[in-house]
A = this chain, B = another copy of it.
């Protein structure tokens, strides 16, 4: 089977990668950043071929588009990743057992990581640099829309690797056909981990079909709960920021939950949404409070479908609750466990919220817009995990490693 040959090649190359020092990886990434700039004309020409096949009005067009400026940004990101500390070889724990054997738990690369993504060709470079820095080989499966762009990018990477004497098989781009995805999802023994990057449909598909471990990234159905003891000024600022900073990101606010005792403050909390023409889907008490205080044309009654939706748009649903328990219950039912926020000056309620709300990021009086690797100070980000296994929330280099146990001794055997 043709894919198996590719998988074998990458697996073999991943082993050789284990012997390459971080200083050399740093150098390779710097050279790659140079090469991306040097080969700008070539990459943009190939990108043009992909763009020509797509309607410029299509939302994917902008994601597919590369420009000299974007390539400069990508090159800068590669240089930044190069300078980060290596996540490999950290000693997690070290003990001497009573029989004298030494036990060391040490971080190691996963080995081979498969990445499945859609129209964004920049992902090829982002992902490769994060994988290389963490000692991992990678198998890329990009979308067919970006075929020429990805081929060009991977050929630039291969060229740099060859020049630096590193087996180019540490990164391979799979052909665009669908069977390649299937093969990757079942590459047991060759691929250690799959990370899908893209729409929730893609992520859903990968999760349902992969027989090797997957890290689920993506969908954020995010709530902010304005508590009985919430501060109006903080609340209004956070709600505006979380909803309107960028509506197409996963940490954007989808549903405002408000304590019924504070329903008269709802107009003040929503006032700053007017300038962004945010459409509000309000339940009956919220509707009553907003009528006359919010433009009627952007005010609609909520339906059950208004909750549990990731809007990705200038839309906000509002839910009124009688107490914090009902707020937490609503979140538990509709959240995608990405980012959840409470606005309160009541420390007891804040503590309860932090303890019970099950999400990667639980905020107290801070906008959910901060759920991001760079904002968390992680230096880079390969995605935001919404599962609980291995990594949760923003994932950076450290999350691209596993560990192994080293046991050293002088002939110890086990008696019983």
Contact = CB atoms under 8 A, between A and B. Distances in A.
Given A15-B332, A193-B388, A404-B392, A414 B111 contact: no
A362 B18 CA distance: 15
B369 A414 contact: yes
Contact of A366 (B110, B241, B409): B409
Nearest to A236: B411
Contact of A97 (B215, B355, B375): B375
A413 B375 CA distance: 11
A245 interface: yes
A252 to B, nearest CB: 11
A364 B409 contact: yes
A226 to B, nearest CB: 13
A388 B111 contact: yes
- The SS class assigned to the A binding surface is mixed
A370 to B, nearest CB: 6
Given A234-B410, A364-B407, A387-B213, A15 B356 contact: yes
A363 B407 contact: yes
Interface residues of A, number: 68
Contacts of A303: none
Q: How many chain copies does the complex carry? A: 2
Contacts of A240: 413
Interface string A397-410: 00000111111111
Given A411-B237, A413-B369, A388 B360 contact: no
Nearest to A231: B411
A290 B412 CA distance: 26
A389 interface: yes
A377 B97 contact: yes
A393 B350 CA distance: 38
A211 B213 CA distance: 10
Contacts of A214: 213
A370 B394 CA distance: 36
A208 interface: yes
A110 B388 contact: yes
A223 B359 CA distance: 42
Interface in A207-243: 207-208, 211, 213-215, 231, 233-234, 237-238, 240-242
Interface string A372-403: 00011100000000011110111000000011
A103 B375 CA distance: 10
A367 interface: yes
A354 B405 contact: no
Interface in A99-115: 101, 103, 108, 110-111
Contacts of A157: none
Contacts of A409: 363-366
Given A15-B332, A15-B356, A366-B412, 15 more contacts: A15-B358, A19-B355, A97-B375, A97-B377, A111-B358, A207-B211, A213-B388, A238-B413, A241-B414, A354-B406, A361-B405, A362-B407, A366-B411, A367-B412, A392-B405
13 contacts: A207-B211, A215-B389, A233-B411, A245-B414, A360-B404, A364-B407, A365-B408, A366-B411, A366-B412, A369-B413, A390-B390, A392-B404, A393-B405
